[in-house]
Amino acid sequence: MEILPKCNMRKKVTPAMKKYHISGEKTYEWLKNVKKYCTVFVRYFPEGFSSYDPYLFMFETDYEDFVIDLFSEIPTSPFFYKVSNKLFLFANVDRRLVKVTDTENEVPDISKLHIPLLIEDLLEKGIITSEAHAASEYYWIKDL
């Protein structure tokens, strides 16, 4: 298999360093400090990345720690962040529990997940006061 030069991620860094006048010292200093400026997040996909679909959930709750602990049990490294008073959960969910199998409707049916049942229970108990969700598409793979 030939790798196209444009898509080759195994390029040497020296030509770019020379072109943009970046010293090796600056490069290694930046790499040493990358954790100060970036969030490094290694994700886990027990069935392989292609077996999961990405979903974004938004919750309003007074019990953030509990909700985070609860949804941290998802086996594919979910992550959480806050915007204003909303708690967001980004999770990759097992595709077999999401995709509709009939050909008439190819839109993912999130109601087939166990997560909506859990969310419904949390709403009934007042642990979360509102919820919204969406299927998320955020990547593209070039066919070589």
What domains can be seen in the chain, in order of their start residue? 11-37 (no CATH), 49-135 (3.30.70)
- Per-residue confidence (pLDDT) for residue 69, from 0 to 100: 94
Give this prediction's pTM.
Answer: 0.64
Mean pLDDT, residues 93-120: 64
Mean pLDDT, residues 75-91: 92
pLDDT(103) > 50 = no
Mean pLDDT of the chain: 80
Q: Which residues contact 1 (CB under 8 A, 6 or more apart)?
A: 144
- Per-residue confidence (pLDDT) for residue 42, from 0 to 100: 79
Of the given ranges (30-34, 54-58, 78-82), which has the lowest mean pLDDT? 30-34
Give the tokens for residue 41. 């997040």
